[in-house]
């Protein structure tokens, strides 16, 4: 290696090292540490003997870990399905309408995005107040004479997770709307004009031209929704607490992980081995589901 290429390598290293260090220290190391920790028995906070995959086996096979894990995972699935079905579909509709420059589109663009900027803790806290039995929502229902529709939104197993998901959609819908708006705006006007001249209707233009061309944006939003749905934590923590109340109805693998690994002040001591096993499973699922959806949607992409 001559001096010049050595210097070049040095320069490249100089730029790469800070980022690499951050990734290694804050992402890779904790990941490997959880993997490592999940392979040991723990005596309270002290690592005891090596047990291999025993903790993961326990998580999937024994009561109550198995029941808690699959119950929580089921709720994560609800998060994913409802977010895709409601938030992303509405986001696409809003994005499309704004791209069609409906009246007040500049206003809506800002209003929809505003809640995205709010702190998640503040949103959780405020909506927690609105959804109380004597909160804003029930008061509004009473004002229109529909007391029969009043519920303890966060206290009934049937509505608790649904309510939190709806709040999250309210907070986050501006994001997919804006991504879809940008994607649709980037489609050349000439394609759309050509289609209209050929007599295509609004519906056909959307499905035959716009939709195939914004698949990359849909991929991004889908992957983010998968990651977001598997990592749900703050929303539930701020509105329903760590214990998945009521009766595990709002539990997600995020809250289950936290409660298991760190313990909960009001109900129990930490189990670091099992907690680490849960975190490894969360990581693997996020990785594979994201990979799968990228491959799946990429195969649907079209080039102009």
Partner 1 sequence: MKKRMTLVAVMLLVISLVGLFAAGSAEQKTAKTEIQFWTWRPEDVDFYNSVIADFEKANPDIKVVQNAIRNTEYNTVLAASLSGGSGPDIFQTRAYGGLLTFSDSGYLENIEKWYPAVTNFPEAALGGAKDSKGNIWGVPVIGQTQLVYYNKAMYDAYGLKVPATWNEFLNNCKVLKNKGVTPIANGSKEGWIVETMLGSVGATFYGGNDFFNEVVAGKTTFEDPRFIRAIEKLGELKPYLPPMYTGVAYTDMQAAFFNEMAGHFLGGSYEASYFKSQNPDLDFDIFAMPGEKATDPRYVSVYADMNWSLNAASTKKEAAAKFLAFLASTEVANRFIKDLGNVAWAPGADASSSPFIQKVLELQKTSTPYIFLVGFRYQQPTGSALFQSAGQGFFAGELSAAEVASNVQRGIATYYEPFQK
| Identity of the residue, 32 or 194, whose beta carbon is nearer to partner 1 in the bound complex | 32
What angle in degrees, to the nearest 10, is found between the helix axes of 272-298 and 253-262?
A: 160
- What sign does the CA torsion over 22, 27, 28, 30 have? positive
CA within 13 Å, CB half, 216: 8
Do residues 255 and 233 make contact, with C-beta atoms less than 8 angstroms apart? Answer: yes
Q: Is 269 in the site for partner 1 (CB under 8 A)?
A: yes
Which segments of the chain are extended strands (E)? Answer: 40-43, 46-50
What distance lies between CA 197 and its chain's CA centroid? Answer: 41
- Determine if 132 is a binding residue for partner 1 (CB under 8 A): yes
216 is an interface residue for partner 1 by CB under 8 A: no
- Minimum Å gap between C-beta 53 and partner 1 is 20
Contact call for residue 270 and partner 1 (CB under 8 A):
yes
CA nearest neighbour of 174 among 60, 99, 293, 87: 87
The reply to whether 143 sits near partner 1 by the rule CB under 8 A is no
Q: Which of 247, 288, 291, 292 binds partner 1 (CB under 8 A)?
A: 247
Is 55:276 a contact under the CB 8 Å cutoff? yes
Residue 162 in the binding site for partner 1 (CB under 8 A)? no
User: Given candidates 49, 148, 198, 266, which one binds partner 1 under the rule CB under 8 A?
Assistant: 266
Three-class secondary structure assignment of 213-274: HCHHHHHHHHHHHHHHHHCCCHHHHHHHCCCCCCCCCCCCHHHHHHHHHHCECCCECCCHHH
Task: Tell whether residue 154 is a contact of partner 1 (CB under 8 A).
Answer: yes
228 is an interface residue for partner 1 by CB under 8 A: no
- Sole binder of partner 1 in the list 11, 17, 62, 119 (CB under 8 A): 62
Among 131, 179, 230, 280, binds partner 1 (CB under 8 A): 131
> What's the min distance (Å) between Cβ of 5 and partner 1?
16
And the tokens for 78? Answer: 């609800």
DSSP type of residue 102: -
Residue of 104, 133, 188, 216 that binds partner 1 (CB under 8 A): 133
Q: Which of 23, 33, 156, 300 binds partner 1 (CB under 8 A)?
A: 156
Which of 40, 80, 94, 153 touches partner 1 (CB under 8 A)?
Answer: 153
The Cα-based distances of 27 to 19, 32, 34, 210 in angstroms read 11, 9, 11, 37
Number of residues interacting with partner 1: please give it, by CB under 8 A.
40
Query: φ, ψ for residue 172 (rounded to 5)?
Result: -105, -10
Among 115, 195, 215, 241, binds partner 1 (CB under 8 A): 241
Q: Establish if 119 lies at the interface with partner 1 (CB under 8 A).
A: no
Minimum CB distance to partner 1 smaller for 46 or for 304: 46
Q: Which residues bind partner 1 (CB under 8 A)?
A: 43-46, 62-64, 128, 131-134, 138, 150-157, 241, 243-248, 260, 262-271, 274
């Amino acid at each position: 290696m001559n001096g010049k290429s050595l210097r070049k390598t040095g320069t490249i290293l100089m730029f790469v090292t800070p980022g690499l260090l951050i990734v290694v220290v804050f992402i890779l190391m904790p990941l490997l540490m959880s993997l490592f920790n999940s392979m040991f028995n723990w005596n309270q906070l002290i690592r005891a003997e090596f047990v291999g995959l025993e903790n993961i086996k326990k998580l999937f096979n024994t009561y109550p870990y198995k029941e808690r894990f699959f119950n929580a995972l089921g709720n994560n699935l609800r998060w994913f399905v409802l977010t895709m079905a409601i938030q992303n579909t509405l986001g696409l509709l809003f994005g499309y309408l704004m791209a069609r420059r409906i009246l007040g589109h500049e206003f809506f663009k800002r209003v929809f995005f505003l809640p995205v900027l709010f702190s998640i803790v503040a949103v959780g806290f405020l909506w927690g107040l609105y959804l109380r039995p004597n909160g804003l929502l029930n008061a509004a229902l009473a004002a229109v004479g529909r007391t029969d529709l009043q519920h303890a939104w966060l206290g009934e197993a049937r509505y608790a997770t649904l309510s939190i998901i709806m709040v999250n959609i309210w907070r986050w819908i501006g994001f997919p709307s804006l991504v879809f708006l940008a994607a649709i705006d980037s489609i050349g006007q000439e394609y759309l004009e050509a289609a209209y001249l050929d007599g295509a209707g609004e519906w056909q233009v959307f499905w035959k031209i716009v939709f195939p061309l914004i698949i990359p944006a849909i991929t991004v939003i889908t992957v983010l929704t998968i990651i977001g749905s598997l990592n749900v934590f703050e929303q539930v923590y701020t509105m329903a607490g760590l214990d998945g109340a009521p009766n595990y109805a709002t539990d997600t693998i995020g809250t289950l992980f936290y409660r298991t690994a760190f313990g909960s002040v009001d109900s129990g001591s930490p189990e670091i081995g099992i907690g680490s096993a849960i975190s490894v499973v969360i990581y693997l699922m996020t990785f594979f589901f994201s990979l799968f959806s990228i491959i799946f949607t990429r195969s649907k992409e079209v080039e102009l």
